[in-house]
């Protein structure tokens, strides 16, 4: 038998029991022990229904100044008259985020709240200084996000779909300690994925980066109901040269579109492609998931060829020897993928080349076309004709796959299995562009006849009876016809591609929010916009040559309006700041606003679109290229007419 020890004996034998018993008694009485008490969490509804703020440029600049001084441990001069909104006392708390951009690591961020923005920024900056523990802290640029508008408290299960506007809306979670997330952090940490699924792993990474330890994690475990508020913020970042830049989504809000800005963005795309070519074997890092710092193993031969073309096109403007060397490596990889006819066609005496992955049993005629297109650009910018024979054999393959009516078979097979014919909407237009470029090199009229036959089939069969609203948006046919029309008389084909251009111009969005202006989808997709810009630039040149100046102006204005979409969807240091390896994403182009995967074709089309805009804007801007603005007169009247340069 074991006797129960009297309390007195228990205390004498186990001194730690004293503290335990005392704690129980004091807690029961509502009293805490010195050093052991934890303050009661503040009511979460303090953040509910916050009204809209006003912040002008002086306010924003002063908040950056306050944050920098606090991080440095120095004083700052209070500018009450110049920045009244910074010192205005609110009846509700005003939350802010203060972040620093780190070139090769995720940004560090801290959250603060107070009844003035000054106090909130000081609180957040002090916390940031403590948790960052970085001797280089003052070397980094500062970003501030001021919570502007909040809604009502909501509740959702972590296993449910989170269908929210994660491009513009951040979250305040009712947890203890409080967990907060900017819209860009939701994407950068992948807290909510593109399908609206809540990712507990992403939330754990965010909590760890906030140095909240493990205490907050149980609030977000699978199957938990979570209370939260959505918010929108006024976001701005310190310029390296002084002053501030407004942000929208992941990138700059106000981006002036001078020709220099356009070519700088095109070059940044070239730098991304250059970094992502393996110089030893010439392969691209085809798809990079920036939010996970993960390289996908997938690949696409056609997009490889298109990216080679883009690198040579950018080299033509920059004459960067490193870019040329990397483009040559990627071009040489492409040449190793050329293969002769299958056994049946070889026995019949056919002599052509296809562009095929050696592990595959099929080749695509669009691949042959883009290979010609890339090799022709190499010839144009280097003056070399070393690959002319390969281009001609690739063209003979396209000819082999085209029937007498001009219909192009999309796939070519190396086995004898019976399959349904595959007809692509894009491959014939690619072939028109490639064959016309080849004719410019070798003068063979047959390529022009074949290109005309392909284009005519598209007009008479695929697009028969279509109007500007229903016609297929074939950007490759527009690009090809711009050049083909300089060599053959084809007025009906010219009018046909103008129908495509009219359709593009008519479908372009003019709102409802500034960050979709110039796009063609409410959730912009980079390549979807870029190929339309490429088409419009080709058609503007074609319209000008044919004397249709009104159409040329219309297409140019439409293309220029899209330029901000291209630039906002390209990763800058600000756009990439919440990724685990931000430097790897620089110059890359996000697939769509809520999914920051970078694929080489996104970069290729975006860069070529900007390159064509740069060439044209350099002509039209005249003596004052700063007349181009990155926002629209409709939304920002103080900016003036963005097209006043024309």
User: Tokens standing for 145?
Assistant: 């996000």
Cα 321 off chain centre by: 27
Tell me the domains of the chain and their CATH numbers.
Answer: 1-37 (no CATH), 44-249 (no CATH), 252-639 (1.50.10.10)
Q: Are 337 and 321 in contact (CB under 8 A)?
A: no
Q: Are 24 and 33 in contact (CB under 8 A)?
A: no
Antiparallel, parallel or unpaired: β 225-238 and 170-173:
antiparallel
pLDDT at 99: 98
pLDDT at 419: 84
C-alpha angle 391/397/402, rounded to 5°?
A: 130
H-run or E-run covering 237:
strand 225-238
Residue 235: C-alpha distances to residues 76, 274, 567 (Å) = 22, 32, 18
The DSSP call for residue 337 is T
C-alpha angle 329/334/335, rounded to 5°?
A: 95
572 closest CA partner among 303, 260, 253: 253
The DSSP call for residue 33 is P
pLDDT at 199: 94
What sign does the CA torsion over 553, 559, 561, 564 have? negative
* Bond preceding residue 56 cis, omega within 30 of 0: no
CB atoms within 10 A of CB 152: 9
CB atoms within 10 A of CB 449: 14
List all residues 6 or more positions away from 595 whose beta carbon is below 8 Å from its beta carbon.
Answer: 194
Q: Are 134 and 76 in contact (CB under 8 A)?
A: no
C-alpha angle 506/509/514, rounded to 5°?
A: 155
569 closest CA partner among 533, 608, 602: 602
DSSP states along 74-121: ------TTT-HHHHPPPSS-EEEEEEEEETTEEEEEEEEEESSHHHHH
pLDDT below 50 — which residues of the chain?
1-37, 622-646
List all residues 6 or more positions away from 337 whose beta carbon is below 8 Å from its beta carbon.
Answer: 301, 355, 356, 357, 358
Beta-bridge partner residues of 143: 99, 237
pLDDT at 255: 67
Antiparallel, parallel or unpaired: β 170-173 and 105-114:
unpaired
Cα–Cα distance measured from residue 250 to residue 572, given in angstroms and rounded to the nearest whole number: 9
The DSSP call for residue 200 is H
H-run or E-run covering 122:
helix 117-132
């Amino acid at each position: 038998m074991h006797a129960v020890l009297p309390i007195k004996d228990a205390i004498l034998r186990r001194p730690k029991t004293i503290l335990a018993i005392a704690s129980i008694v004091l807690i029961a009485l509502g009293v805490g022990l010195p050093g052991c008490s934890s303050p009661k969490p503040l009511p979460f509804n303090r953040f509910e229904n916050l009204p809209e703020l006003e912040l002008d440029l002086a306010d924003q600049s002063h908040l950056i100044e306050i944050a920098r001084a606090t991080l440095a441990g120095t004083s700052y001069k209070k500018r009450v008259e110049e920045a009244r909104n910074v010192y205005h006392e609110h009846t509700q708390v005003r939350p802010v985020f203060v972040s620093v951009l780190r070139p090769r690591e995720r940004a560090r961020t801290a959250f603060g709240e107070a009844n003035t923005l000054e106090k909130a920024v000081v609180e957040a900056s002090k916390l940031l200084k403590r948790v960052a523990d970085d001797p280089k802290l003052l070397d980094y640029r500062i970003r501030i996000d001021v919570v502007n508008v909040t809604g009502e408290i909501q509740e959702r299960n972590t296993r449910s779909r989170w269908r929210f506007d994660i491009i513009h809306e951040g979250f305040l979670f009712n947890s203890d300690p409080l967990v907060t997330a900017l819209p860009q952090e939701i994407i950068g940490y992948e807290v909510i994925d593109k399908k609206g699924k809540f990712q507990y792993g992403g939330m754990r990474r965010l909590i760890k980066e906030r140095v909240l330890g493990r205490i907050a994690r149980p609030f977000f475990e699978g199957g938990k109901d979570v209370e939260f508020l959505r918010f929108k913020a006024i976001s701005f970042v310190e310029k390296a040269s002084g002053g501030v830049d407004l942000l929208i989504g992941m990138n700059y809000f106000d981006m002036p579109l001078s020709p220099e800005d356009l070519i700088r963005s095109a070059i940044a795309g070239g730098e991304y492609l250059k970094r992502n070519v393996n110089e030893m074997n010439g392969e691209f890092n085809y798809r990079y998931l920036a939010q996970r710092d993960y390289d996908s193993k997938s690949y696409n031969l056609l997009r490889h060829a298109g990216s080679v073309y883009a690198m040579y096109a950018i080299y033509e403007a920059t004459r960067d020897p490193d870019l040329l060397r990397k483009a040559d490596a990627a071009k040489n990889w492409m040449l190793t993928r050329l293969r002769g006819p299958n056994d049946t066609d070889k026995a019949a005496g056919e002599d052509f080349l296809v562009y095929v992955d050696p592990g595959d049993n099929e080749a695509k005629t669009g691949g042959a076309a883009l290979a010609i297109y890339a090799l022709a650009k190499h010839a144009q910018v280097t003056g070399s004709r070393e690959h002319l024979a390969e281009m001609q054999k690739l063209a003979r393959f396209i000819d082999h796959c085209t029937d007498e009516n001009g219909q192009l078979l999309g796939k070519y097979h190396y086995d004898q299995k019976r399959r349904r014919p595959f007809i692509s909407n894009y491959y014939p237009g690619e072939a028109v562009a490639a064959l016309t470029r080849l004719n410019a090199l070798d003068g063979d009229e047959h390529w022009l006849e074949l290109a005309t036959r392909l284009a005519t089939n598209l007009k008479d069969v695929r697009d028969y009876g279509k109007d500007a609203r229903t016609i297929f948006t074939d950007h490759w046919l527009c690009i090809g016809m711009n050049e083909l029309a300089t060599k053959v008389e084809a007025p009906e084909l010219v009018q046909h591609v103008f129908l495509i251009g009219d359709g593009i111009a008519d479908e372009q969005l003019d709102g409802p929010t500034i960050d979709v202006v110039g796009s063609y989808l409410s959730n912009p997709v980079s390549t979807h916009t870029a190929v339309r810009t490429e088409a419009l630039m080709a058609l503007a040149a074609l319209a000008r040559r044919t004397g249709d100046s009104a159409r040329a102006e219309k297409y140019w204005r439409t293309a220029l309006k899209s330029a901000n979409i291209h630039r906002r969807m390209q990763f800058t240091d600000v756009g990439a700041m919440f990724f685990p390896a931000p430097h790897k994403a620089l110059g890359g182009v996000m697939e769509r606003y809520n999914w920051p995967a970078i694929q080489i074709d996104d970069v290729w089309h975006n860069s070529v679109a900007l390159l064509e805009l740069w060439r044209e804007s350099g002509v039209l801007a005249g003596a004052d290229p700063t007349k181009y603005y990155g926002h629209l007169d409709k939304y920002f009247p103080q900016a003036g007419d963005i097209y006043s340069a024309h």
